[in-house]
Structure 1
Amino acid sequence: MVRKRTGYVMIDAVVSLIILSIGIYIFSFGITNIVLLLKERSYDNYVLSSVVKKEKEYLATISDASLLPEIEAYEIEKKDVYIVRKVVDEKFEMVNSDIRIESEYADRSFNILSFLGDSDKDEYFE
C-alpha cells in the first residue's frame, strides 16, 4: 500500500516559509537600525564641525585672555554643547578649547588650539 503524504509536505513548506519570513524581518530590522545610527552619527559630526567653526570665529574676535569665559554651555537641537577653555600660554595668548557634545545616542568631544585674535582665513587662498 502506498500512502499519499502531500499534507505533510505542505505543512513543511508553510513552516519553512514562516521561518524564512521571520529571518528576513529580523535582518531588515537590524539593517534599518544600523542605517539610522549612521545617519545620526553623521549629523553629530555636522553639529560638531559647526560648533568648532563658531568657536574659532569667536576666539578670533577676542583680543584679551581676561575677557574669555572659561566654561560655556548651550543647546543645539536637543544636543548639549559644553565648551571648556583654558589659556595654555599667556604670552602668545594660546587657548585650548575642549568641545563636548552630548546627545541621546553618543558623546563626541574635540580639542582645538587657537590664538586669540587670529583668524584662519588667508586672503590669498579665498
Structure 2
Amino acid sequence: MGFIIRLETSFEWLLLSGLIFFLAQGLLLFLLVVRLKHQFAEIYPQINKKIRFYYLGVLTIDFLFFVLLAFISSQRFSSLMPIITACHSTFYYMTADYLRENYPDFYDKHISLWECL
C-alpha cells in the first residue's frame, strides 16, 4: 500500500512541475510578444500571424511535453530537455528568418530577437 501512495505522490509531483513549466513558458512567450510588438510597432500588423504561429507552436510543444511528463518517470525528464529546447529553437529561427527575409530594414534597425528574450 505504501508503494501506491508513493507512486501517486510522484505522479502528482510530475504533473505539478509540468504545469509550472508550462505556465512559466507561457509567461515568457507573452513577454516576448509584448516586446516584439513594441520593437516592431511599424510592421507588427503584418507580422502578427507569424508571431502567433511561433507563440502557438511553442505552447503546443510545451503542452505535449506536459502530457508526456505525465507518462514518463522523473529519471527520463532530463533526457527530454534537449528535444524541447530544439523545438523551441526551431520555432524561434523560423520566425527570425521570416523577419530577416521579408523585413530586412526593420530587422537590422531594431534590436535583435535575442535581446527580446
Q: Fold match, TM over 0.5?
A: no
Q: How does the TM-score come out when normalised to structure 1?
A: 0.42
Structure number with higher helix proportion:
2
Q: How does the TM-score come out when normalised to structure 2?
A: 0.45
Question: Quick one: higher RCO (CA 8 Å, sep 6+), 1 or 2?
Answer: 2
